[in-house]
């Protein structure tokens, strides 16, 4: 199966539909009046769909087992056909599109099975996804172009003793989120240099991301450099990063990642290890980019 261990949980919603077309108008009347010999078609088909959606991963090899936290089956009965509308919700790392379509298809097949004794011309049509919400694309809708500076804080890398990988991992994630990286620099773990870079690039970029210097050694000074110049801390970003990391590595609680704003620029101090930097980006991107709508004066609403 596809690796989803790097993803975060969000509310996922999928709506699918299927059409059961009848050959005899009397079939629709039999459904409505509940006189089909095999029983109540709508209720039996609904029950079958509920079982199906919870067992999708047993049928479709690449589907992940996931918690199905809400399922709704609705019908629209028209002259000549029944439209099945199947809704599935979960709070999880991956979507429920296949679960919704699987549920709709089993509802349709159950109706076919129950109706074929009285109508030899039953057809199933248009099993398809109608709508999905909650995936990555829903949180990557920043309209204007954003730019960033990435600063690697490391004595050993600045001295040429080690190669930078954390900064490059951050740049890769920014590019995936369609953020332009204007500056990439490597500097030593010096408080005044870190502070001056934050002030300099906050004038020209939307994002300034530092990697390194967030640990507990005596040379780890990135939080001390940034905290006094941040106008507003954003604890939620810091908490999200540490919580994400803690679920994967128990040492994450020792990181002192920091986030806040200078004017309309977001400043972040992330761990210096490649995995720590990469996981920190996974924890908050691309949904973090919503901050720039707020900084431009947009209001929170149900569509944001």
Q: Report, as residue numbers or ranges, the catalytic residues.
A: 113
Q: What is the DSSP secondary structure assignment for residue 258, as one 8-state letter? A: E
Residues facing 124 on adjacent strands: 20
Q: How far apart are CA 14 and CA 91, in angstroms?
A: 12
Find out whether 6 and 127 touch, Cβ atoms under 8 Å.
Answer: no
Q: How far apart are CA 196 and CA 262, in angstroms?
A: 13
Give me the residue label for tokens 């954390």.
Answer: 166
Long-range contacts of 241-247 (CB under 8 A, 24+ apart): 241/270, 241/280, 241/283, 241/284, 243/283, 244/8, 244/279, 244/280, 244/282, 244/283, 245/271, 245/276, 245/279, 245/280, 245/283
Q: How far apart are CA 49 and CA 36, in angstroms?
A: 19
Q: How far apart are CA 168 and CA 175, in angstroms?
A: 11
Give me the residue label for tokens 């995995």.
Answer: 275
Sign of CA dihedral 289, 293, 294, 300: negative
Residues 6+ apart with CB under 8 A from 9: 91, 92, 93
């Amino acid at each position: 199966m596809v690796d989803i261990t790097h993803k975060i949980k969000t509310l996922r919603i999928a709506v699918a539909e299927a059409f059961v077309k009848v050959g005899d108008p009397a079939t629709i009347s039999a459904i409505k009046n509940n006189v089909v010999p095999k029983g109540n078609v709508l209720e039996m088909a609904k029950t079958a769909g509920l079982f199906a959606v919870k067992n999708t991963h047993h049928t479709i090899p690449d589907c992940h087992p996931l918690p199905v936290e809400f399922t709704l089956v609705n019908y629209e009965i028209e002259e000549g056909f029944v439209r099945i509308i199947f809704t599935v919700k979960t709070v999880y790392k991956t979507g429920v599109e296949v679960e919704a379509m699987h549920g709709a298809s089993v509802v349709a097949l159950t109706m076919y099975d129950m109706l074929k004794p009285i109508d030899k011309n039953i057809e199933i049509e248009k099993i398809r996804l109608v709508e999905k919400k909650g995936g990555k694309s829903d949180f990557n809708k920043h309209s204007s172009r954003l730019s960033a500076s990435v600063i690697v804080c490391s004595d050993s890398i600045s001295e040429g003793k080690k190669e930078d990988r954390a900064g490059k991992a951050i740049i890769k994630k920014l590019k995936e989120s369609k953020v332009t990286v204007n500056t990439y620099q490597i500097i030593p773990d010096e408080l005044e240099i870190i502070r001056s870079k934050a002030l300099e690039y906050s004038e020209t970029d939307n994002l300034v991301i530092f990697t390194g210097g967030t640990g507990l050694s005596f040379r780890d000074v990135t939080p001390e450099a940034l905290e006094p110049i941040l106008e507003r801390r954003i604890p939620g970003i810091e908490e999200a990063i540490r919580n994400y990391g803690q679920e994967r590595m128990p040492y994450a609680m020792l990181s002192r990642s920091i986030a806040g704003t200078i004017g309309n620029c977001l400043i972040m101090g992330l761990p210096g290890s490649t995995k720590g930097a990469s996981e920190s980006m996974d924890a908050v991107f691309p949904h973090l980019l919503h901050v720039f709508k707020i900084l431009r004066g947009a209001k929170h609403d149900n569509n944001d």
